Homo-oligomer: A and B are copies of this chain.
Amino acid sequence: MAKTDLVEKTMNVPYGLNIIESCLTCKFREDRLFCQLSPAALKKLSSIKSTAMYPKGALLFIEGQLPRGVFILCQGKAKLSTSSKDGKTIILKIAEPGEVLGLSATVSGRPYEVSVELMEPTQANFIARDHFLTFLRENGDAALRVAEQLSENYHSAYEEIRTLGLSASASEKLAKLILEWSADAGSSKGLGNGKNPLKLKVGLTHEEIAEMIGTSRETVSRLFSDFKKKQLLEVKGSTLTIRNRAALERIIQS
């Protein structure tokens, strides 16, 4: 494909990324949205998508814009956020490679509800809205997969509502977030207790963490101090070590 050639030529060492050459050999294909489609459908899909590289900090789209289409993250993380006029911001989620962004807006035609900012240099596929919709109309199985994805999106939004609405204290919310992280990372059994400390990398500032749990930066700082004092965890640089997971779970409580 000409497009890919172009990419190769102009971006030999784009932003220090190794480019994923083809969707067919992409390691994320298996566990994501468009796995198990018919070969014909897959072919059609790759004919309407275009790949591009973006630098760290780039904005794929901004809340309120009319939906141009969907983006699929090949590699790199992205921050989905929304903010009010008075500058307050919520981070709804950190998207990982393989995720489809802008799906609900593209399907419904409503404006994008979040802004997407890349946290690292990123390779992403783009599919324009009209192409995407006609593709879905012609491929019922793909439409069903999209429905599943949307269900998942809804579910995570729902979880966010629960934390925001049901948890009394800020410490509760922070504990919840940390446990979520640890589940994503070493999902392997009972780490994080006593003799089995669980380490994880946190690439977020306190400010950003605050925006994720709907509190202030200072409160996050104080809570981390607290948790450290209580021996629940340790922080060295960007590495967080969970020392007493049980106690964290107890904070979320009852």
Chain A interface (Cβ < 8 Å from any Cβ of B): 82-86, 88, 90, 92, 103-105, 107-108, 110, 113-114, 136-141, 143-144, 146-148, 150-155, 157-158, 160-162, 164-168, 214, 253-254
Query: A166 — nearest CB in chain B belongs to which residue?
Result: B84
Of the candidates B88, B90, B147, B161, the one whose C-beta lies within 8 Å of that of A147 is B147
Interface of A is mostly: helix
Q: Which residues of chain B have C-beta atoms less than 8 A from A137's C-beta?
A: 140-141, 144
17 A-B Cβ contacts within 8 A? A82-B162, A84-B166, A84-B254, A85-B254, A107-B147, A108-B152, A108-B155, A113-B155, A140-B140, A143-B144, A143-B147, A154-B154, A157-B158, A160-B161, A161-B161, A161-B164, A165-B214
Contact assessment for B148 and A108 in the assembled complex, using a CB-CB cutoff below 8 Å: yes
Q: Which residues of B contact A214 (CB under 8 A)?
A: 164-165
Q: Do A155 and B104 touch across chains, with their CB atoms under 8 A apart?
A: yes
Contacting pair A110 B155 (CB below 8 A) = yes
Copies in the complex: 2
Other contacts beyond A82-B158, A146-B147, A160-B161: 9, CB < 8 A: A83-B166, A92-B158, A107-B151, A108-B155, A110-B151, A136-B144, A137-B144, A150-B150, A154-B154
Would you give the shortest CB distance from A93 to chain B, in whole angstroms?
11
* A188: min CB distance to chain B, Å: 23
Report the separation of the CA atoms of residues A139 and B141 in the bound assembly, to the nearest whole angstrom.
Answer: 9
Q: Is the CB of B152 within 8 A of A147?
A: no
User: In the complex, what distance in Å separates the CA atom of A109 from the CA atom of B205?
Assistant: 36
Contact (Cβ within 8 A) B166 A88? yes
Quick one: which of B90, B143, B158, B167 contacts A165, CB cutoff 8 A? B90
Distance to closest chain B CB from A238 (angstroms): 25
Report A164 CB to chain B, min CB distance, Å: 4
- Taken together as a complex, chains A and B put the C-alpha atoms of A154 and B80 apart, in Å, by 14
Q: How far is the CB of A4 from chain B (nearest CB, A)?
A: 29
Chain B, residue nearest A157 (CB)? B157
* Alpha-carbon separation in the docked complex, A22 to B211 (Å): 49
